[in-house]
Amino acid sequence: MLLALIKIAVLVFVLMTATAYLVLLERWVAAWVQDRVGPNRVGIPLTKVRLWGLGQPLADGVKMLLKEQYVPSHVDKFLYTLAPISIMASALALFAVVPFGTIDLGGGYILDLVVAPGIDVGLIYIFALSSVGVYGVILGGWASNNKYSFLGALRSSAQLIAYEIPLGLGILGVILMSNSLRLEEVVNQQAELGVWFAFLQPIGFLVFLVAACAEAGRLPFDLPEAEQELVCGYHTEYSGMRLVMYASAEFIHMITAAVLIVLLFLGGWHFWGITGSEPVAGLGLGLVRLLILLGKIFLVIFLFMMVRWSWPRFRFDQLMSLAWKVMLPLGIVNLVVVAVAVEYFNDAIHERPWLASAVMWAIAIVVWVVTAIVNPRRDDTNLPRLNDELYRPDELGPPSGGYATADLTAAR
């Protein structure tokens, strides 16, 4: 119990600090991509030490704490407060089953670097809690009683539930191959095999990567809060500490997505020639493994950031057709391929994992080509239909009653 408390405290502290500094990192990356200087001023107060802007997150935190906790009068007060609390609580509590390795401290004492060791349903728990995050978004958008918020929440719910299915299908392939819902077990099997699941099921990896990115609401998929269209989306009416909760939940979601990608598909703490493949490591090796795990997570987060600052945003119909018409079929194909492979070629996979992954990649390329040929982009019924009269006024001539203008006074 005490050990669990200590682990929770350490984990929450690390997560909150990481979140604060990821905001700074994100701004640095943005500045680097856009050839700017970026935040580099805030250092130690009352001195001239700048520390490359490392004081920025602390200053931001203090500023947000000292803001007025404003609740507009037109909102549903209870839900308005409940929404950010629920989204942040679910984002944090998800880490209860995320394993960071197992260290043998000597003297027969084995330390599991996970808050709740030995949970058999870890992946289900993560899946369940990541769904709770949707409630925070929808509740916030609804309670705000603002059209931007409401539209953002609706879009967000449509997006999050659409991408939850490819996410589940991607996880299903991993479960099939490792036969376990325990994240420790999934990582151990990859280490034992010496080949990460990203190599063994490339389609599943691709589907999961895209779906996790969409679930985290990162830029190519950040329709719920598209600034140019919806101001801030579901948290337009939020300010002060409640906004901090939404913002940090967003960054925690990104960390979660990166952690899951690393654990499920990129071998967790495993790296060839450095970490070995035993489930339990000594103190020194355990720390090396932890560093490798954190390094991988950092690389995936960095990938997310680079994607954010180099890709334009999808249009909403593109987003939905990507989920339903590309990712869902690919996920089903991955499920069938992995199921057949595990059912009939399980021994072969374990004897020659690299050959197996080469075959899997060949299948993936074939599937990719087929997908490219039957690309739904050719389906131009998918394009948004604008009102023809408004769209081609010159060809059609003015409508009989003249162009319609919005009569605001009547609608009010």
189-228: which residues touch another protein (CB under 8 A)?
A: none
Q: Does 260 bind another protein (CB under 8 A)?
A: no
Asked if 162 contacts 317 with a C-beta cutoff of 8 angstroms, the reply is no
Q: Are the C-beta atoms of 136 and 79 separated by less than 8 Å?
A: no
Asked if 330 and 365 touch (Cβ cutoff 8 Å), the reply is no
Q: Using the minimum distance from each CB to another protein, give the nearer residue, 4 or 370.
A: 4
> With respect to another protein, which residue has the nearer C-beta, 255 or 300?
255
Identify residues 11-30 at the interface with another protein (CB under 8 A).
12
Residue 85 is a binding residue for another protein (CB under 8 A) = yes
Tokens of 408: 């605001």
The CA distance from 43 to 91, in Å, is 30
**Sole binder of another protein in the list 36, 77, 147, 350 (CB under 8 A):** 147
Among positions 19, 56, 81, 130, the unique one binding another protein when judged by CB under 8 A: 81
To the nearest whole angstrom, how small is the minimum distance from the Cβ of residue 28 to another protein? 25
Q: What minimum distance in Å lies between the beta carbon of 24 and another protein?
A: 20
CB of 398 to another protein, least distance (A): 26
Instruction: Choose which of 162, 216, 257, 301 interacts with another protein (CB under 8 A).
Output: 162
Q: Which of residues 330-389 bind another protein (CB under 8 A)?
A: 332, 335-336, 339, 342-343, 346, 381-382, 384-385
> Whose CA is closest to 339, among 196, 169, 209, 210?
169
Q: How far is the CB of 373 from another protein (least distance, A)?
A: 16
Closest CB to another protein among residues 46, 411: 411
Among 64, 294, 303, 363, binds another protein (CB under 8 A): 64
Measure the CA–CA gap between 1 and 303, rounded to whole angstroms.
Answer: 37
Q: How far is CA 335 from CA 106, 171, 219, 284, 302, in A?
A: 42, 10, 28, 39, 29
- The number of C-alpha atoms within 13 Å of 95 and in the hemisphere containing its C-beta is 26
Contact 150, 141 (CB under 8 A): yes
Q: How many binding residues for another protein (CB under 8 A)?
A: 89
Q: Yes or no: say if 309 and 29 are a contact pair by the CB < 8 Å rule.
A: yes
Q: How far apart are CA 125 and CA 256, in angstroms?
A: 13
Among the listed ranges 25-33, 166-174, 209-217, 347-355, the one in contact with another protein (CB under 8 A) is: 166-174
237 binds another protein (CB under 8 A): yes
Minimum CB separation from another protein for residue 173, in Å?
8
Helix ranges (DSSP H) in 114-233 = 122-143, 147-178, 183-193, 197-200, 202-215, 227-230
Q: Site mask, another protein, residues 316-335, x = CB under 8 A? A: xx--xx--xx--xx--x--x
Q: Rank residues 298 and 324 by Cβ distance to another protein and give the closer one.
A: 324
The 3-state DSSP class for residue 155 equals helix
Binding-site member from 42, 119, 198, 262 for another protein (CB under 8 A): 119
194 and 272 in contact (C-beta within 8 Å)?
yes
Pick from 144, 188, 189, 190 the residue near another protein by CB under 8 A: 144
Q: Are 177 and 200 in contact (CB under 8 A)?
A: yes
Does residue 345 sit in helix, strand or coil? coil
| Binds another protein (CB under 8 A): choice among 17, 36, 70, 388 | 70
Distance CA 112, CA 185 (A): 13
- Provide the phi-psi class of 49: left if phi over 0, else alpha when psi is between -120 and 50, else beta: beta
Shortest Cβ 115–another protein spacing (Å): 5
80 counts as binding another protein under rule CB under 8 A: no
40 touches another protein by CB under 8 A: no
**Residues in 261-320 that interact with another protein by CB under 8 A:** 316-317, 320
